[in-house]
Amino acid sequence: MIGSIAAIGAGLAVIGAGLGIGRIGGSAMEGIARQPEAASKIQTAMIIAAALVEGVALFGVVVALLGTR
Amino acid sequence: MDLVTPSIGLVFWTTVTFFFLFILLRVFAWKPIVSALNERERSIEDALNAADKAKEELTRLNQESDKLLKDARLERDKILKEAKTLGDNLIAEAKHNAQTEGAKMIAKAHDEINAQKNAALAEVKNQVASLSIDIAEKILRKKFENAGEQQTLVAELLKDVKLN
Amino acid sequence: MRLNTLFLKKLFVLSLIFAFIAGVNASAFANSEHNETVLKDSAHVTEAHAEGEGHAAGHGEEPFEPTKVIMEHISDSHDWHLWGHTSIGLPVILYTEAGLVTFNSSEFHHDQEGTHVVEKDGQKFVRFENKIYYAAETANEKGQYLTLADEHPTNAKPLDFSITKNVASMFLSAIILCLVFFSVAAAYKKREGKAPRGLQSFIEPIIVFVRDEVARPNIGHKYVRYMPFLLTVFFFILINNLIGLIPIFPGGANLTGNIAVTFVLGTITFLVTNFSGNKYYWKHVLAPDVPWWLYPIMLVVEVIGLLSKPFALIIRLFANITAGHIIVLSLISLIFIFKTLYIAPVSVAFVLFMDVLELLVAFLQAFIFTMLTALFIGTAVEEHHH
C-alpha cells in the first residue's frame, strides 16, 4: 500500500520535473535560435539547470524507493 | 529501502579504491599529461607567434625591397633621361658644328673659287693682253711687207686665237 | 553513414526473420512444461531454486517475478554470476566480534534463503537475500537458520567487508583506468610536443574538454589545483557507467547505480568543496547579509543548502544509472512476462534503443557530476570584490 502511494508521489514528481525540463529545453532552443553563436554556453547552462530540476524529481524517486519494503 | 541504504563494505572499498586511484593517477597520469598538454599548447602558441612575426618581417622586407626596386627604377630612368639629353645635346652640337664647318668650308670654297676665277680671269686678261700684243706685233711686222698677206695673217692669227 | 543505416536495416530484418523462426519453433512446443523451463533457465530466473535439470521440471510452474529478478541484477552480490548455474565465488571478508573471518562465497552454494550454514572459525553464518547474518541455533519450519519478522531477518549481522561483485568490478575498472592512463602518459613522454596518436588522441579531447569546458569556466584561474580530482572523478564515473552497460561477464555490475559508491563520491566532493572554501564562502554560509535576528533560520537554511548539494549529486547519479538498468531489464523481462518469443524483436529493439540512450547518459552523468563538482568548488573559491 505504502509502495503504491509512494509510486503515485513519484509519478507526480516526474510530472513536475517533466514540465520543468521541458520549459528549460524549450527556452534553450529559443535562445539558440535567436543567438546561434551562443549555443555552447546556452547548452551548458541548460544542462546544469536540467540537472538541478532532475535532482528534485529524483528525490521523489528515492522516496518511492524508500516506500518499497 | 535496501536500494538506498549504503552498505558499509562497499563504502569502505570505494573509499580505498578511489583514494588509491586518485593518488596513482595524479602522480603517474594527470601530472605528465596535463603538463604535456600545456607544454604543447604553449609551443603551438609560440610557433604561431613566431610565424606571425616572421610574416611581419617578411612583409617588412618585401616593402623594403619594393622601395629599393622603385628607387633603382627611378634612378635608372633618371640616368637614362640624362644620357638621352646628353646624347641629344651632343648630336645637336655635332650637327651645329658640322653645319658651321660646312658653311665655313663652303664659304672658303667660294672664296677659293672666286680667287681662282679672279686669277684665271687675270691670267686670261694677261694672255689676251700678251696675245694682243703678239698679234699686234706680228701684224705690225707683216703690214709693212704686204697688205694682202697682212689680211691673211690677221685671219690666221684670229683663227689661232679661236683655237686657243 | 549510409552504409551504417543499410547495415542496421539488414540487421533488423534478419533479427525479425530469426525471431519469427524461433517463435514458430517455440510454438511447436507450446504449452509444454519443458519449453517454459528452458525459457526460465535461460533467464536465470529460477537459479536460486533450481538445483538441476530434473529438479527444475518440478519447479516449472513457479511464477516469474520481474521485480525480484531486476532487484537481483541491480543490487550487489557476493558471487559473480556468469550464466546458468555458473558463477565465480568471490572472497567474503567479515568483521565479527571474534575478529576477521574470510572464506569463499561459493561455500554458500548459491543459497539466498538462509538455509545453508557456513561454519568458519567457530562461527556460523547464513546468507539471506545478499546479506550475511549470524546463523540462528535452530532452523525454522522453512529450514532457514533465521528468525524472520515480517519477512525480514532479525538476526545480528557481522560487518561485511566482502569483495563483492561491485567491489571486484570497481577493482577491474581501477586497473583499466591505470593501464589506459599510464600508457597515455607514457605516450606523452615519448612523443613530447608531437600530435597525439591512437588511444592518446581518444583521451586527449576528453581531458581538454574537462579542462576547458568544466574546470576553467567554473572554477576560474585556480582550476589547476582541482584538475586531478575532477579528471579522476570524471573518468572513474565514466568507466564504471560504461562497464555497467556491458551485459556479459566482466561488466554488468551496477556500480555507479549503487548508493554506497555515489555516497562516497558525493562525500568526497563535499569535503573537497568545504575544505577549499575561502573566507567569503564561509562568511556567506555563517554570516549572510541579513538582519541579525534571521541568523538562526538562515544558518539552518545554509547548512541544509551545503548538504543538499552533494546529496543531489549522490541521488542523481544513483537514480539515473539504476533507472537505466531497470528499464533495460524490464524490457528484457517482457519476453518472460508474455511467455512468447514473438515479443523478442520489439523487446530487443527497445533494449537497443535504451542501451544507446544509456551510452549517452553514461557520458552525461559523468559530465554533470564533474560539472557540478566544479561549480561547487568554484563558488567555494570565488573571490568577491565588493
Mean of all residue pLDDT scores within chain B: 86
What is the tens place of the pLDDT at every residue in C20-72? Answer: 444 444 433 333 334 333 344 444 433 333 333 333 334 455 678 888 888 88
Residue carrying the nine cell digits 533467464: C43
Q: Residue C49's pLDDT is what?
A: 38
Does B60 have pLDDT greater than 80? yes
The predicted-structure confidence for B146-159, as pLDDT tens digits, reads as follows: 677 767 777 877 88
CA nearest to C67 within chain A: A68
Whether the CB of B28 is below 8 Å from some CB of chain C: the reply is yes
* A62 contacts C316? CB cut-off 8 A: no
**Nearest partner of C272 among C225, C315, C235, judged by Cα:** C225
A-chain CB neighbours of C316 within 8 Å are: 51, 54-55, 58
Contact assignment for C372 to A51 by CB distance below 8 Å = yes
Report pLDDT for A1: 67
How far apart CA A4 and CA A2 sit, in angstroms, is: 5
Residue C67 CA from chain centroid, whole number: 17
Q: How many CB pairs under 8 A join A and C?
A: 31
pLDDT of residue C4: 52
CATH number for the domain spanning A50: value is 1.20.20.10
pLDDT at C267: 94
Cα-Cα-Cα-Cα dihedral of C176, C181, C187, C189, to 10°? -140
**DSSP character for C42?**
H
Name chain A contacts of C323, Cβ cutoff 8 Å.
Answer: 61
The answer on pLDDT for B140 being more than 50 is yes
For the residues A37-65, what does the mean pLDDT come to?
80
**How many domains, in total, are found in chain B?**
1
Question: CB distance B4–A68 less than 8 Å?
Answer: no
Contacts of C121 (CB under 8 A, 6+ apart): C98, C99, C101
Res. B65: pLDDT tops 80: yes
Domain boundaries, position A44: 2-67
Q: Is residue B5 part of a domain?
A: no
ipTM over 0.85: no
Give which of C102, C150, C259, C269 to mutate to test B binding, by max B Cβ within 10 Å. C259
> Which pLDDT belongs to residue A50?
84
B6 interfaces chain A, CB cutoff of 8 Å: no
- Chains with 3 or more CB pairs under 8 A to chain B: A, C
Residue B118 forms part of a structural domain: yes
pLDDT value at position C34? 40
CA B15, CA C359: separation in Å to the nearest integer? Answer: 26
Domain layout of chain C by residue ranges: 2-19+166-381, 91-162
Question: Domain span at residue B31?
Answer: 10-160
pLDDT of the residue at A63 = 72
Structural domain includes residue B2: no
Whether B10 has its CB under 8 Å from any CB of chain A: the answer is no
The whole-number pLDDT of residue B92 equals 92
| Tens of pLDDT, residues C266-319 | 999 999 999 988 888 888 888 778 888 888 888 888 888 888 889 888 988 998
Burial class (CB in 10 A: 0-12, 13-18, 19+), B39: middle
User: Scanning every residue of chain C, which has its alpha carbon at the shortest distance from the alpha carbon of B10?
Assistant: C260
Residue B117 falls in which region: left (phi positive, over 0), alpha (psi -120 to 50) or beta = alpha
pLDDT the model gives residue C144: 80
Q: What is the pTM for the complete model shown?
A: 0.72
Task: Give the closest of C319, C367, C372 to A58, CB-based.
Answer: C319
Q: Do B30 and C231 touch (CB under 8 A)?
A: yes
SS3 C78: coil
Residue numbers in chain C where pLDDT is lower than 50:
1-3, 16-59
Question: Total structural domains in chain A?
Answer: 1
Q: Which residues of B touch A65 (CB under 8 A)?
A: 1, 3-4
- Which of C315, C327, C360, C371 should we substitute to test contact with A (largest number of A Cβ atoms within 10 Å)? C315
Partner-chain residue, chosen from C213, C319, C367, that has the shortest CB–CB distance to A62: C319
CA distance C76 to C87: 14
What's the pLDDT score for residue C67?
82
CB pairs under 8 A between B and C: 118
Three-state DSSP class for residue C100: strand
